[in-house]
Amino acid sequence: MAQAPQLDSSPLSISDRDRHSESPFNPQGYVARIALDSPEDLKRALLRAESLYLDGKVEEVGKPLAFIIHGPEVEIFFKENYQQYKEIVDIAARLTAFKVVEVQVCETRMGVQGKEKSSLVPFVGTVPFGPSAIDELINKKDYVYF
């Protein structure tokens, strides 16, 4: 049986709920915690993912780190806003190309902003409702936040 990757010194970490469990916890994946719903917070999370990739930690996970965007920062990934958010979009595109991250945005938030899926940059997918998608990853698919 494969052992869980050693992640003690990296920003990729097990939540307190899982750390105190009686049995060893083997996360099935990782989802970005974007707490401030801001472009800066998203950029920090993407740069953290890039650092993990460069340190060889992402290969240990075996699947892209999930980025499910459901706050006002959804606008970052609209084609019309590319120039304004170019640096963040370029980082996300590069990490997606290397299969380090998978970026998805909330269709509900897009609807509130009056946008269609065709408004998104090509590498970004969608989920019907972001908070539910995150909840499913955490509570049903054994993902943990990083």
- What is the pTM assigned to this prediction? 0.82
104-143 tens-digit pLDDT: 999 999 999 999 999 999 999 999 999 999 999 999 999 9
Whether 15 is covered by a domain: the verdict is no
From start to end of 72-137, where are the E strands?
Answer: 101-106, 125-127
Whether 141 is covered by a domain: the verdict is yes
Whether 4 is covered by a domain: the verdict is no
Where in the sequence is the domain holding 131, given as residue range(s)? 26-145
Is residue 3 over pLDDT 50?
A: no
Whether 32 is covered by a domain: the verdict is yes
Whether 21 is covered by a domain: the verdict is no
51-62 tens-digit pLDDT: 999 999 888 778
41-92 tens-digit pLDDT: 999 999 999 999 999 988 877 899 999 999 999 999 999 999 999 999 999 9
Number of structural domains found in the chain: 1
| Domain CATH code at residue 53 | 3.40.1260.10
Whether 113 is covered by a domain: the verdict is yes
Whether 5 is covered by a domain: the verdict is no
With 0-12 / 13-18 / 19 or more C-beta atoms within 10 angstroms meaning exposed / middle / buried, residue 67 is: buried
Return the pLDDT at 49. Answer: 97
